């Protein structure tokens, strides 16, 4: 096995992963590492690939240094916090997709928990606003259900609306 590995993003950039403790965190890389000598291309943008590599490098360093769980948690919170603002949401979602594609399960788990906490702290309308989701009218909702019956196969949305209106 090699002592370093190059990964390429879809923009032509690359990152050199300097040891197996880094790349072994990625199931995808581990499945490909024996089949390539030229490096591994990923259909990912530079920013999200860099975020995943940053995670893997830091986790490898923590493992080597024997960093405490508390020390890891401090860094993880800072890492996640860098994607907390509304203008960083695209990077958060792209990083989640990249972590999933690369099979970096610990990172994906942390990102999913982070996103779940973001949602849990908001009302439904705040969620729609924060994630820039268009609010639809009742008529638009019914049209969607009519076109895609799998959305509400048991008619629960209509029953809930009727229940609320009858109060």
DSSP string over 24-48: TT-HHHHHHGGG-SS-EE-SS-HHH
- Our count of domains for the chain comes to 2
For residues 147 and 104, membership in a common domain is answered with no
CA distance 167 to 159: 13
Provide, rounded to the nearest whole percent, the portion of the chain with pLDDT above 90.
Answer: 59
What pLDDT sits at residue 35? 77
For residues 94 and 121, membership in a common domain is answered with yes
Query: Could you tell me the pLDDT band of residue 2, with boundaries at 50, 70 and 90?
Result: low
User: Which pTM does this prediction carry?
Assistant: 0.80
For residues 157 and 90, membership in a common domain is answered with no
- Nearest Cα to 40, choosing from 94, 84, 86, 102? 102
pLDDT at 82 > cutoff 60: yes
For residues 77 and 143, membership in a common domain is answered with no
Q: How far apart are the first and last CA of the chain?
A: 69
pLDDT in tens, 16-47: 898 889 999 999 998 888 777 777 888 999 99
Mean pLDDT of 148-164: 89
For residues 153 and 121, membership in a common domain is answered with no
For residues 106 and 163, membership in a common domain is answered with no
What is the extent of the structural domain holding 152? 136-167
pLDDT at 154 > cutoff 80: yes
Q: Residue 154 is encoded by which pair of tokens?
A: 């048991």
What pLDDT sits at residue 164? 86
Which of the given ranges, 9-18, 55-64, 130-139, 148-157, has the highest pLDDT on average? 55-64
Mean pLDDT of 4-24: 89
For residues 160 and 110, membership in a common domain is answered with no
pLDDT in tens, 135-149: 889 899 899 999 999
What pLDDT sits at residue 76? 97
């Amino acid at each position: 096995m090699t002592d370093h590995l190059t990964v390429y993003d879809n923009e032509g950039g690359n990152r050199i992963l300097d040891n197996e403790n880094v790349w072994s965190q990625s199931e995808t890389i581990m499945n490909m590492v024996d089949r390539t000598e030229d490096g591994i291309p990923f259909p990912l943008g530079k920013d999200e690939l860099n975020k995943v590599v940053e995670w893997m490098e830091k986790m490898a360093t923590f493992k080597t240094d024997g960093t405490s769980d508390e020390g890891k948690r401090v860094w993880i919170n800072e890492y996640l916090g860098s994607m907390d603002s509304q203008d960083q949401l695209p990077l958060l979602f792209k990083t989640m997709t990249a972590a999933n594609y690369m099979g970096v399960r610990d990172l994906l788990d942390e990102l999913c928990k982070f996103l779940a906490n973001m949602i849990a702290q908001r009302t439904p309308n705040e969620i729609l606003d924060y994630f820039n989701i268009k609010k639809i009218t009742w008529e638009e909702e019914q049209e969607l259900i009519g076109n895609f019956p799998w959305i509400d196969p048991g008619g629960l949305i209509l029953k809930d609306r009727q229940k609320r209106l009858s109060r």
